[in-house]
Amino acid sequence: MFVEPPEKQNAGQHTINRHTANRSGPRASILETIGGTPVVRLNNVGPGHVALFAKLEAFNPLGSVKDRLALAMIETAERSGALKPGQTVVEATSGNTGVGLAMVCAQKGYPLVIVMAENFSLERRKLLRFLGAKVILTPASERGTGMFRTAERLAEAHGWFFCRQFENEANAEFHAQTTAQEILSDFEQLGLDYWVTGFGTGGTLKGVAGELKQHRPNTRIVLAEPDNTQILASGVPQLRRPDGAAARSHPNARAHPIQGWSPDFIPKLAGDAQEAGLIDIFQPVSGADALQVAQDLARREGIFCGISGGATVAATIAIAEAAPGGSTILAMVPDTGERYLSTPLFDHIEVEMNEEEAAIAKSASALAAVAPSSSPQKEPAPPISEEALDLVKEVIRDANAPVVMFGFEWCEFCWTVRRLFDAAGVPFRSIDVDSAEYRKEDRGGDVLRALFSHTGMRTVPQVFIGGTLVGGANEVLAAAGDGSLGHRLKQLARPIDFTPVADPMDYLPKWVRRPSRATSSANAGA
């Protein structure tokens, strides 16, 4: 276990050895779970004459290697006084650094603004906003340098703390003190012949490679880059400003599908690693190979990683094929595949059943048709009380709440209507028959039976406007689309404005096939 030098112990709220130790017992906060990620052997991909391993950074609490640098940058800034209590933090990021920062800032109480190019995955935006961050999107055409410039301008204009992950030495230092020490410990007995990584900021590269060169000089450092964007391997220098930041895009930079890898410039930390002679081998990786190996890892190893993880392992396999027998090779796998659901990594994954799955489902139906029935006979429904009938009529006719929905608290189609009304600014009353208020003595079931008796419909939600049944979720969405819903609301004794939404059908659950507005007549219900 690595222990900090005496001058660094107690330098901040978290000491490095608390992150890397295999501790038991409660942690003081989520931040103490950062680091200590596992190394696992790859048994089913790559050639058999070498031993392949992967360090799975998805085991960090927010699912990526960038949790490490997020904590490092914030706590270093706290110690130096550069970050004041309550000050807003701003950073330019493709996503994972932002997610890590959102976790750290949420726990420590700092407002966070993330600047991100619009072409990065939608999952990242949602994760960031879910964690409380504000997300500012920049044009994809401006690439990484555009993100950086926007974040820099915001920091200057508002007095915010700008993390500057691409130049921040705390980034590489934390990797030297945690990631590198974990690797040295894990391979103390086994030995390590090659260490393979890509680069985003260059912090992992500089921090880990520096320690390996010092303590394991025989370990060869392999840097993987997209085959169409080999900016470090090109040897073409990066034009920089006096503060070390890139002055403009690198001339060899091209668009590539490996999100989080190789921005359109050489970060200072990555440049430092190259200038220090820490890189032994440059290994190009195609986008197609990155996607294929990510899928292979999932289906053959049970390892769920993103495109950058697939790219690193693809580079590792290429190195392994030429490596001497018995070599030990470690790949850095930076994050989880859940960040990539809206990217080409999942383009071939179907939402609906394919032919093989449909055949399996059909076989179950066929078996059910010939199997003897063991279902108990249904008991007759309890009688509907006058109280429930009166309640339904009273709610429907209530002039003070002319828009009312009968439904369930967590029914997806009920949430379709709720989300539409919220977006359109329509106040409404929701009678949730499965809520705690209606659960006692089956009051909710009584009200539901009274509703079905009153309307002749046996599904929910059921939406009424001014005492008139509009229908279920599909009918409400169709009426919102053709303008009749807004017209109904305008005709009320107390008119309600309906703010038009771009496409009402977008509010349906994602797994539902989008019905045509022209043919939408069947009620969507639970």
CB 61 within 8 A of CB 30: yes
Residue 66 is among the residues annotated as catalytic for this protein: yes
User: Which H/E stretch holds residue 124?
Assistant: helix 122-130
The catalytic position among 55, 66, 206, 268 is 66
Calpha distance 161→86 (Å, rounded): 11
CB neighbours of 210 closer than 8 A, spacing ≥ 6? 172, 176, 180, 273, 276, 278
What is the token pair recorded at 355? 């032919």
Written as one letter, the residue type at 85 is: P
Alpha helices in 434-525 (DSSP H): 436-439, 443-455, 473-482, 484-490
Backbone angles phi, psi at 393, to 5 degrees: -65, -40
Residue 206 is among the residues annotated as catalytic for this protein: no
**DSSP one-letter string for 171-238:** HHHHHHHTHHHHHHHHTTTT--SEEEE--SSSHHHHHHHHHHHHH-TTSEEEEEEETT--TTTT-PPP
Calpha distance 138→247 (Å, rounded): 18
Residues 274, 319, 253, CA angle at the centre, nearest 5°?
A: 45
CB neighbours of 300 closer than 8 A, spacing ≥ 6? 44, 45
**DSSP one-letter string for 418-452:** HHHHHHHT---EEEETTSHHHHGGGHHHHHHHHHH
CB 461 within 8 A of CB 455: no
Query: What does the longest C-alpha to C-alpha distance in the chain come to?
Result: 85
Total residue count of the chain as it appears in this document: 526
The catalytic position among 64, 121, 262, 308 is 308
Residues annotated as catalytic (active site), given as ranges: 66, 308
